Amino acid sequence: MPELPEVETTRRGIEPHLVGQRVVRVVVRDARLRWPIPEDLDVRLSGQRIEAVERRAKYLLIRAEVGTLIGHLGMSGSLRMVPIGTPPLKHEHVDIELESGLALRYTDPRRFGALLWSHAPLEHVLLKSLGPEPLTDAFDGRRLYELSRGRSMAVKPFIMDNAVVVGVGNIYATEALFAAGIDPRRAAGSISRARYDRLAQEIKRILALAIESGGTTLRDFVGGDGKPGYFKQELFVYGRGGEFCKTCGSGLKEIRLGQRASVYCGKCQR
């Protein structure tokens, strides 16, 4: 599933081609996504100029003169630019055609993504209760420490809770906990303020590095230019269960936390 760095990579890739462009028409070949694409999307968006391409958590906000298209890539979705008239392949469900001669094409084999319309996107039910962005000053160790007091749940699902902080998905939670030396099974409420300060710093560092690397390609993800991300080469623990720890040489352990695979080093993390 594309996580925050992959979505930010996509945003950066498509933004230069969209901002300032006027939409010619919207072609919907299959509206059956996680939520149906609005039947009148072509009427709402055609003729409007794109003013900004923003991101909130893992949602892309394509802001037009009147209204905003909220996009989510789901488990296998991608957005890329193609010349208008490029024959669509299977699973290429939507084209947003621009006056430049390019089209923003949405592809989603599993159809778990979304393209929704809103006049107040930050108040939309999907976005209004989200926590702070991890790469802003609103997120830090103090927030993690204060919200974790009295919590018995494991620290990994705690930092993956979008009400605590957005965008820390399975890959980056796994890597940040390793970098901070924290066992993902530890009760969130048992971790000190100093260790949460370190964890917050590592979350910020790893997410920033992943964005600069173009995200992590594990299966389906490609960026807005159609190229894969390269952060996979930087992974220390995610997806490496049973292999040797790059730091200490011990065997990495794989367990399940919150119905997700979690890999950690029993020697480096406590």
Q: Which residues are catalytic?
A: 2-3, 58, 260
Rounded distance between C-alpha atoms, residue 84 and residue 197, angstroms: 49
Q: Does the annotation flag 32 for ligand binding?
A: no
Beta carbons of 97 and 84 less than 8 angstroms apart? yes
Closest C-alpha to 260, from 202, 207, 196, 184: 184
- Whole-number Å distance between alpha carbons of 134 and 198: 14
Q: State yes or no: 151 annotated in a binding site.
A: yes
d(Cα 43, Cα 237) in Å, to the nearest integer? Answer: 47
119 is in an annotated binding site: no
E strand residue ranges, 48-191:
50-56, 59-64, 68-72, 78-83, 92-98, 102-107, 114-118
State the Cα–Cα distance between residues 43 and 103, nearest whole angstrom: 17
Interior CA angle at 100 toward 99 and 105, to 5°?
Answer: 90
Report the distance separating Cα 4 and Cα 23, nearest Å.
Answer: 27
Indicate the annotated binding residues for DNA. 91, 110, 151
Indicate the annotated binding residues. 91, 110, 151
